[in-house]
Amino acid sequence: MKRLLALIVLAAGPLLSQSPPKIDPTWLKVDSATTKVEFNLIAGLTPTNGGMNFNGAGAGALTLTVPVKWTVVLHFRNSDQVLPHSAMVIAATTPVPVSGAKPAFEHAVTHQSEQGLGSDHHEDVQFVADRPGSYLLYCAVPGHGVAGMWIHFNVSATAHQPELVVTRKTQ
Amino acid sequence: MLLAIGLSLMLGSHAPAIGSSTAERVRMYEASYGLTLHELTPSFARQTGLACSVCHTHYPELTATGRAFKLNGYVYRRADSLQGRSPEGQQNMLLNLVTPLSFMVQTSFTATKKAQPGTQNGVVFFPDQLSLFTGGEVTPHVGGFLQVTFDPQSGSLGLDNADFRYANHTTAFGKHAVYGVSLNNNPTVQDVWNSTPAWGFPYGSSAAAPAPTAATQIDGTLGQQVAGLTAYTLWNDHIYLEAGAYRSAPIGTTRPLDSTAAGVLSGVAPYWRIAFPNTFGKHYLSVGTYGMSLKTFPAGVSGPENRFTDIAFDLSYLLPLGPNSFTTDATWIHETQRWDAGGTANPKNTLNTVRFDAMYHIGHQYAFTIAPFVTTGTTDTLLYAPAQLTGSRLGSPNFSGVIGEVDVMPWQNLRMQFQYTYYGKFNGSRSNYDGSGRNASDNNTVYVLFWLLF
C-alpha cells in the first residue's frame, strides 16, 4: 500500500505549473539600419497554461519593447497541437477582452483572428509601431486572451533598440 | 492527508513566476470572467478552466475552440490531476482532481394554440429534463461525454447521448492531422458541427407538443438504439473524413436480441461524413455531406427487411461581429426507403427534410433565432394513416413551419428560452390534417424553458 501511494503523485495542471519562460535569442532579429525588428511569435510553444501561451509565456510573462516608428514583423506560428490560436496587438487594458478586440495598429493581426490558425499553421504580420504606449500581444480567439494568452508589447519613445525580456514580477 | 500536503506544496511552489501570485491571478481571472466557469457540461469547464463562451457561441453550438476540444477527445486540461506511475516511471493513471460530474435541470411550460383532444392545455414540466453529465479526460488521449437523463413522462432514468473517443495527431502529407475513433450511441452525436441532427437546432423543444410523424432514420430515429464505432481525421484543418458502422444496441431490451425486439438493424449500418471547413477573412464556413445506409427487421431478428439510405448535405457558417456573432446552420436530408417487409402502401418511398437556422448572438447574453423547416415525402396511406392528432388524413408526411426563439442568458449557465413554433402544414395539410378536424395551426406552440447547468 505504501508503495502504491508513493507512485501516485499530484500533477499540477498546466494552469498552475508555469515556470519563468526561457528566452531564445533567435526569436528576435534586429536590423537597426532599416529600423526593423522581426519576432518569432510562437503560440503554444510549451504546455504552460494549457498551451495558451506565446513563446512559453502566459499572462504577460514576457515583454517585447520596440522603439517607436520601427517596423515590426511577427513570424507567427501555432505550435499548439490541440487549439487554434491567433495574434493581435491591442491596447493594454484590464481586464483583457474576451473577444471582439480591435488591432491597435493597422495590419497588426493575423487573419481569421477569431477562428485562429490551426496547429502548425503560420503567418507573417508586418506593421509600423507608430504610436508609443503600452500594448498587449494577444490571442484573439474568444476566451484565449482572458485565459492568459498574452504578453506585453511596449512601443517606446526612448528606447533605441528592441528588447525581449522576462517581465519583472513587480509589473 | 498525503494529497492535502501535496496540494499545498504544489500551490506554494508553483506560484506564477512573473507578475503576481497564484491567488492574485485566480482573482484576476474571476474578475475578468465573473463566476462563469461553467459550460454545457460544466465538468468540461472545470477541467479546462475555460468559460462556456470559449467553446460555445450559444450552447451546444461550438466555436473553433469547442470543435478542437471535441476532436481531440475531450482531453484538453488546465486543471490539476492525479497521475499514477509505474516503478519504471511510466504514467499509467490520470484522474481529474475535480469530480467530472455536472447536472442540467430544465423546467418548462408548453401551450398549443388549441388543446390536444381530451387534455389540459398549458403543460408544466418540473423537471422537463434532468440530466447528469460526466465526461472529460480519462487518459492523455482518451476522453468522453456521457449523459444520463430522467424522463418525467416515463418516470425513468435512461442513457442519453454518449461519445467516447481516442484522439491523437500526426503529420500527413506535410500537414497537421487530428485523427481518432469514436464510440457513440447516436449517429452524428460525434459531429463537431451543429448542422447535423444530434446537436442541431432547436436545442430544446417541447415533449408535450404534437410532433409531425415523419422523420428520417439519421434524424434522431436511431438515437440511443444503436452503438457505433467510427474513425475520423481532420487534415490541415480543411478536410474532415469519417467512416464507421452502427449496430443495434437498444436500451431496456432483453439480450441477445430475439423475436420480441423491434426495429433491429440487420448486420451493421455504414455511416460516413465528409466536411470541408474553411475561413474566408472573418467568415467561417463548413460544407459537407453525411449519411448512412441501414436494413432493419420490423419485428424480431430475421425475415424480410426494410432498407433505408440517408444522404445528407449540411452547411455551417459563423461571422464574428465584434462581441456579437451571426451563425447559420442548415441541412438537407434525403432518404430512400424500400419497404420489402411490407406494412406500407408503396414498396418504395422517399422523404426529404430541410432545416435552416439563423442565429444572431448579442454577446453571450442574448440570442435571436429564426429557423424554418420543411419535410416532404411520398404519400403513403398506410405509413401515414389517419388518426386523431397524430395521423394524416391524406397519408402524407409533409410538414413545414418556422421556429422563432429568443434566448436570455444572464449567466452562462442559466438560460431562459422563449420559443414559438408555427406550422404552415402538419402531416400533409393546413386544415383538418388528421381527418378529425384539427388544423396545422392548432399545433402552434409556445414553449418556455429554463435551463440550469451546474
Q: Is the peptide bond before A95 cis (omega within 30 degrees of 0)?
A: yes
Got the DSSP string for B122-167?
Answer: SEEEEEEEEEEEEEEEEETTEEEEEEEEEETTTTEEEEEEEEEEEE
Q: Is the peptide bond before B127 cis (omega within 30 degrees of 0)?
A: yes
pLDDT in tens, B40-74: 567 788 888 888 888 988 889 999 999 999 999 99
Pick the residue from chain A with its C-alpha nearest to B169: A81
**Model-level pTM greater than 0.90?**
no
The count of other CB atoms within 10 Å of the CB of residue B298 is 16
Confirm or reject contact between B34 and chain A (CB < 8 A).
no
User: In A, which residues are within 8 Å of B64 by CB distance?
Assistant: 84, 114-116, 141
Q: Do B68 and A142 touch (CB under 8 A)?
A: no
Does the pLDDT at position B332 exceed 60?
Answer: yes
pLDDT in tens, B205-249: 999 999 999 999 999 999 999 999 999 999 999 999 999 999 999
Q: Do B51 and A143 touch (CB under 8 A)?
A: yes
- Confirm if A135 and A90 have CB atoms less than 8 A apart: yes
pLDDT in tens, B408-448: 999 888 999 999 999 999 999 999 999 999 999 999 999 99
Does the pLDDT at position A15 exceed 60?
Answer: no
Query: Is the ipTM reported for this complex over the cut 0.90?
Result: no
B-interface mutation test, from A3, A4, A5, A9, most B Cβ less than 10 A away: A9
Looking at chain B, the whole-number percentage of residues with pLDDT higher than 70 is 91
Q: Do A15 and B323 touch (CB under 8 A)?
A: no
CA dihedral B86, B89, B90, B96 (to 10 degrees): 80
- Confirm if B451 and B106 have CB atoms less than 8 A apart: yes
CB neighbour list of residue B47: distance below 8 Å, 6 or more residues apart: B76, B77, B78, B79, B96, B98, B100, B136, B137
Q: Specify the 3-state DSSP secondary structure of B24.
A: helix
Pick the residue from chain B with its C-alpha nearest to A103: B322
Separation CA A106–CA A126 (nearest Å) = 9
pLDDT in tens, B294-303: 999 999 999 9
Look over chain B and give the mean of its residue pLDDT values, rounded to a whole number: 88
pLDDT band at B89 (very low <50, low <70, confident <90, very high): confident
Separation CA A115–CA A98 (nearest Å) = 13
Instruction: Return the ∠ at Cα B419 (arms to B414 and B420), rounded to 5°.
Output: 170
Q: Is the peptide bond before B256 cis (omega within 30 degrees of 0)?
A: yes
Q: Could you give the C-alpha distances from A5 to A1, A13, B4, B206, B299, in angstroms and in order?
A: 6, 20, 13, 50, 54
Can you tell me the mean pLDDT for B117-121?
96
Residues 52 to 81 of B: which have CB under 8 A from any A CB? 53-55, 63-65, 68-69, 72, 76-81
B73: closest CA of chain A, how far (Å): 10
Q: What DSSP element (H or E) covers A55?
A: none
Q: Do A142 and B65 touch (CB under 8 A)?
A: yes
Pick the residue from chain B with its C-alpha nearest to A99: B323
| C-alpha gyration radius of chain A | 17
Mode of pairing for the β-strands spanning B61-62 and B81-85: unpaired
Q: How far from chain centre, in Å, is Cα B412?
A: 19
Can you tell me the mean pLDDT for A107-118?
92
Q: Is A7 exposed, middle or buried (0-12, 13-18, 19+ CB in 10 A)?
A: middle
Separation CA A107–CA B348 (nearest Å) = 59
Residues 166 to 185 of B: which have CB under 8 A from any A CB? 169, 171, 175-176, 178
Does the pLDDT at position B28 exceed 50?
Answer: no
- Confirm if A17 and A51 have CB atoms less than 8 A apart: no
- Confirm if B198 and B413 have CB atoms less than 8 A apart: no
Separation CA B6–CA B8 (nearest Å) = 5
What is residue B11's predicted lDDT score, i.e. its pLDDT?
A: 30
Sign, Cα dihedral of B256, B219, B61, A108: positive
Pick the residue from chain B with its C-alpha nearest to A118: B237
Tell me which residue in A13, A57, A116 faces B79 most closely, judged by beta carbons: A13
The count of other CB atoms within 10 Å of the CB of residue B259 is 11
What is residue B126's predicted lDDT score, i.e. its pLDDT?
A: 94
Here the cell at position B78 is 488546465
Look over chain A and give the mean of its residue pLDDT values, rounded to a whole number: 88
Tell me which residue in A11, A57, A83 faces B80 most closely, judged by beta carbons: A11
